[in-house]
């Protein structure tokens, strides 16, 4: 919040205050020195004055400091914006995982078909959610999750990781997904 406030203040200072003031001062100085009437006679002393000003040790340090601070505040805002977009995507994925976990549990309770045929119509939903998870850096199960004998592993994975993502516990979700990967390797060894 402070970063946003400081960024706004420094941007206003640089854009709306500093630049017009410098421009107006330059116009007044040019008019006072007669730059518009005899430019050659005035440009040489003006150039000498600018040379003296820019040779001051504080001038460049101040200018670079203000510029760097403003750039840093804007960069911070960009990073926070990108990070919040990713966090929103992960939280949405958490909701999707929990919805899938609920659906798996419901279909297991109805038992019209045995596992995994009872979730066969949801295959595209699983693939989409698992690809999204992989793109976000989380481990997600492969087809072996459907060869475990029952829905316990898949339901547990979806419910736990979904809850962690939904509640913005992203590091823990990543850690738990790796634990789930090890569990799946024990249940159904990779080919």
In the chain, domain spans? 2-84, 85-187
> What span, in angstroms and rounded, lies between the C-alpha atoms of 25 and 97?
62
Q: Are 53 and 59 in contact (CB under 8 A)?
A: yes
pLDDT of residue 176: 95
> What span, in angstroms and rounded, lies between the C-alpha atoms of 54 and 61?
10
pLDDT of residue 138: 93
Q: What is the pLDDT along the chain (191 residues), one digit of tens a residue?
A: 567 777 777 787 777 767 777 888 888 887 777 767 777 776 777 788 888 888 888 888 888 898 999 888 888 888 877 777 788 889 999 999 999 999 999 988 877 788 888 888 999 999 999 999 998 889 999 989 988 888 899 999 999 999 999 998 999 999 999 999 999 999 988 87
> What span, in angstroms and rounded, lies between the C-alpha atoms of 2 and 132?
33
DSSP 191: -
Residue tagged 């946003």 (tokens) = 4
Residue tagged 């249940």 (tokens) = 187
């Amino acid at each position: 919040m402070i970063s946003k406030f400081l960024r706004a203040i420094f941007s206003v200072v640089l854009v709306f205050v500093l630049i017009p003031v410098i421009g107006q001062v330059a116009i007044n100085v040019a008019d006072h020195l007669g730059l518009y009437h005899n430019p050659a006679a005035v440009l040489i002393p003006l150039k000498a004055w600018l040379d003296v000003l820019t040779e001051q040790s504080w001038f460049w340090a101040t200018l670079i400091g203000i510029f760097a601070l403003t750039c840093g505040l804007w960069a911070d805002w960009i990073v926070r914006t990108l990070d919040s977009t990713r966090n929103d995507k992960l939280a949405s994925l958490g909701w999707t995982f929990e919805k899938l976990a609920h659906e798996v549990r419901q279909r297991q309770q109805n038992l019209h078909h045995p596992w995994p045929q009872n979730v066969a119509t949801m295959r595209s939903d699983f693939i989409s959610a698992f690809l999204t998870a992989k793109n976000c850096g989380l481990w997600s199960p492969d087809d072996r999750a459907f060869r475990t004998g029952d829905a316990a592993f898949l339901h547990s994975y979806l419910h736990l990781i979904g809850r962690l993502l939904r509640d913005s516990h992203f590091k823990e979700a990543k850690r738990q997904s790796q634990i789930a990967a090890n569990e799946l390797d024990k249940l159904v060894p990779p080919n």
